[in-house]
Amino acid sequence: MTNKDARTPASVQDAQSEEAGKSIGWHKAYVEGTRPDLRVPVRQVHLTNGQAVTLYDTSGPYTDPLVDTDVRRGLPPLRENWIISRGDTEEYAGRPVRPEDDGIKHTSPRGGLRNLDAVFPGRPRQPRRSRDGEAVTQLAYARRGEITPEMEYVAIRENVAPEVVRDEIAAGRAVLPANVNHPEIEPMIIGKRFLVKVNANIGNSAVTSSIEEEVEKMTWATRWGADTVMDLSTGRNIHTTREWVLRNSPVPIGTVPLYQALEKVDGRAEDLTWEVYKDTVIEQAEQGVDYMTVHAGVRLAYVPLTANRKTGIVSRGGSIMAAWCLAHHRESFLYENFEELCEILAAYDVTYSLGDGLRPGSIADANDEAQFAELRTLGELNRIAKRFNVQTMIEGPGHVPMHKIKENIDLQQEICDEAPFYTLGPLTTDVAPAYDHITSGIGAAMIAWWGTAMLCYVTPKEHLGLPNRDDVKTGVITYKIAAHAADVAKGHPGAQEWDDALSDARFEFRWEDQFNLALDPDTAREFHDETLPAEPAKTAHFCSMCGPKFCSMKISQDIRREHGGTRTEIEEGMAQKSKEFAASGNRVYLPIAD
C-alpha cells in the first residue's frame, strides 16, 4: 500500500540520510504521531524520476541502520510506557518456569531447574496483568471510546482516521493483538476494513530445527512482509524458543497452547486436563503471546460427523481434542471452561483465534456438516468472548474448491457477527503437493477479496516436510501477492497506487525502479540480469523477453512521441494526415466510425 499522508515530508523522519537511501533505492523512515514515542515505520522507495513511494513495512528495527539490534538482548520495549501509563496493569511474581515447560522431565538426566535468565539472557522482566476489576484489552478501551496509542499507530499505518480503528475494534470487526507482556511489537490491526494481513508459521518440530533457526525464520518472514508469526513449536525447548522469538519479534506472535500442553503429558491426548492446559495458557500469556488458537469448537457431538470424511480431522489441535473427547466420552474441556479461559485471556489482552479443528483436509470434505457445525459453535463462543472484552478472530479452512469458497466467508461473517476471518489458504485442489503455496494462494486471494482479514500462509513444503528459509520466503511472497491482489480488488484506499507506480516504471523502462518497487527486489533483479547482466541493460528500452525490435512498450512509446502523447493530439494528428492524404488524391481516406 502506498501511504499518501506519509509522503508529507514534515511527518516523515528519516532513519538514515535520504542520500544514503537513494543509493540503494529505498530507506527506512518513520511517520510521527501525536506523541514523540509514536513513530510508525515505513519503507520509502526512491524512484529515479525523483518521486518517492511509501510502502507498509513489517520488517521491524532490523532494517533500521540506526538501531543496534542484538538477538540476545531483544528488541526495545516500544509500548512499555504506553502500557504502564494506563495504570490498569501491575507486575507480579508470575508462574515459576519449570523444566517440563521445555519438555524436560524431572527424571531426565539433562533436567534440573532452570530459570528464564539462563535460557534468555536479555532483559529480565516480571510479567504483568490487569489489576483487579480492570478491563485492559484494546476491545475494552475501544468500547469506552478511548483511542489508545496502539490504535493511533495502526491508523497511521493503514492511512485511516483513528476513529475508524476504534470503531472497528469496538464492533468486534477488527482485532489489535497486543499482549501487555509483549511491549516489543509494532502494533497492527486485523479486520476487513484494513489491509489484508499475512501470517507465517514457524516452529521446530520433533523431527528437526533449532531455536536459532526459528528466530531467524521469524525475522526473515517479517523481512518479506509477514504481519504476524505463529510459533508452532513442539518437542523440546518449546518455552525457550518462544521466549527468544517473542523478545525479538516486531510483529504479534500467535501460538496453539494445546501443543505445549500435550508435551507436558508426554503426548498422550487422553491425559490432558483443564488444569494442565490452563497452566500452559498462563505460562504463554506471561511470556507475551499475542493471540492463541483455541480449538474449543470441537465438541464431542461433532466428532462422529467426521467419520465418513475422506481425510478425517486434519487440524492437529482438532484431532487432539477429538481424541480426548472420545477417550473420556465427554464434552471438550475447552468448551466447558471457556468462560474461565476468557477471564485469563482478558487479563493480558491475549486475542482469541478460535481454531477450526474440523476444517476440511481435502476438496472432498469441504463445506460439510462437521465443518459448519463447528463454525456455529465458534459463533457462540465469539459472543461469549466479547462479553469478557476478549478480542476474537475466527479461523477458517483449509481445502475448498473455488466454487465453494464464497459460502465459507459469507457464513462465517453471518454466524460470527463479522469477527475477523483468518483462513489457511484455502487450497483449491489436492493434486499438487510441492506447489501448495500456489494451489492455496489462488483460494487465499479470492477469500480475502470477499472479506477475509488475515491469511495464514502455506509453503511449498506443506504436506511434505518442514519449510526451510527459502520456503518461508516463497510462502510469504505468495501470500503477500494474494493479500495485495485482494486489497486492489476491494478498492482499499491507496492499494492500487503501488501497482500504478510499478507500471509507470515499467512503461518508462526505469528498470531499477521496477526492482525496488517489487515485492521481491532481489529476485526480480536477479532474473533480469540472468540474460542481460550489463549495466546499460538497466536503462535499455527493452528486455531479453522480446528484444529491442519487438518491444511493444518501446513501439508504444514511439507512437506517442511521433503522434502526440494525448488522445486529442493523436486524433488531431490523424485527422490532419487524413486531410493531406485525401487532398493528395492518391487514395481516399476512410475515417473509421465506431
Among 76, 111, 401, 493, binds its own copies (CB under 8 A): 401
**Binder of its own copies out of 276, 342, 381, 482 (CB under 8 A):** 482
Q: Is the peptide bond before 74 cis (omega within 30 degrees of 0)?
A: no
- How many CB atoms within 10 Å of residue 144? 11
Q: For its own copies, which is the closer residue by CB, 167 or 589?
A: 589
Give, for 191, the enclosing helix (H) or strand (E).
Answer: strand 190-191
Q: Is 399 flagged in the annotation as binding?
A: yes
Q: From its phi and psi, is residue 497 left (phi > 0), alpha (psi between -120 and 50) or beta?
A: alpha
Considering only 84, 147, 171, 373, the residue that binds its own copies (CB under 8 A) is 373
Contact between 210 and its own copies by CB under 8 A: the answer reads no
Binding residue for its own copies, selected from 39, 192, 242, 299, defined by CB under 8 A:
299
Quickly list DSSP for 471-505. Answer: HHHHHHHHHHHHHHHHHHHTT-TTHHHHHHHHHHH
Which helix (H) or strand (E) segment is 576 a member of? helix 567-583
Task: Based on the shown chain and the rule CB under 8 A, indicate whether residue 351 belongs to the binding site for its own copies.
Answer: no
Q: Counting contacts by CB under 8 A, is residue 569 touching its own copies? A: yes
CB of 496 to its own copies, least distance (A): 6
Closer residue to its own copies, CB minimum distance, 118 or 464: 464
Smallest gap from residue 101 Cβ to its own copies (A): 17
Is 359 annotated to bind a ligand? Reply is: yes
Tell me whether residue 325 is annotated as binding. Answer: no
What would you report as the CA-atom Rg of the chain, rounded to the nearest whole angstrom? 27
Q: How far is the CB of 311 from its own copies (least distance, A)?
A: 5
Site pattern 411..430 for its own copies (x: CB under 8 A) = -----------------xxx
Q: Per rule CB under 8 A, is residue 131 in the interface with its own copies?
A: no
- 44: contact with its own copies by CB under 8 A: no
The span from the first CA to the last CA of the chain, in angstroms, equals 38
Give the range of 121-129, 243-251, 341-349, 487-495 binding its own copies by CB under 8 A: 487-495
Contact region for its own copies (CB under 8 A) — 78-86, 98-106, 274-282, 572-580? 572-580
Assign residue 203 a region: left if phi > 0, alpha if psi is -120 to 50, beta otherwise? left
The correct pick among 4, 91, 507, 539 for binding its own copies (CB under 8 A) is: 507
**What are residue 586's phi and psi, to 5 degrees?**
-70, -40
CA nearest neighbour of 217 among 437, 476, 480:
476
Helix (H, G, I), strand (E, B) or coil at 205: coil
By the rule CB under 8 A, 316 interacts with its own copies: yes
CA neighbor of 513 nearest in space, from 452, 503, 132: 503
If one asks whether residue 331 binds its own copies (CB under 8 A), the answer comes out as yes
In this chain, which stretch among 56-64, 84-92, 216-224, 315-323 interacts with its own copies, using CB under 8 A? 315-323
| Those residues with Cβ within 8 angstroms of residue 180's Cβ, 6 or more apart along the chain or in another chain | 83, 89, 128, 129, 130, 136, 348, 349
Tell how strand 39-46 and strand 52-56 pair up: antiparallel
Distance CA 452, CA 456 (A): 11
Number of residues that bind its own copies (CB under 8 A): 140
Q: Which of 132, 566, 584, 585 binds its own copies (CB under 8 A)?
A: 566
Q: Give yes or no for residue 147 binding its own copies (CB under 8 A).
A: no
Q: Is 76 in the site for its own copies (CB under 8 A)?
A: no
Which position among 12, 261, 314, 344 is part of the footprint of its own copies (CB under 8 A)? Answer: 314
DSSP 270: G
Closest CA to 60 of 220, 230, 254: 220
Of 117-125, 153-161, 216-224, 520-528, the segment contacting its own copies by CB under 8 A is 520-528
Greatest alpha-carbon pair distance for the chain in Å reads 105
Stretch that binds its own copies, among 3-11, 132-140, 177-185, 437-445 (CB under 8 A): 437-445
The annotation status of 27 as a binding-site residue, yes or no, is no
Closest CA to 287 of 244, 228, 251, 344: 244
C-alpha cell read off for 376 = 456455529
Q: Rule CB under 8 A: say whether 564 interacts with its own copies.
A: yes
Instruction: Cite the annotated binding site by residue number.
Output: 201, 230, 259, 295, 315-317, 356-359, 395, 399, 422, 463, 543, 546, 551
Instruction: Cite the annotated binding site for substrate by residue number.
Output: 201, 230, 259, 295, 315-317, 356-359, 395, 422
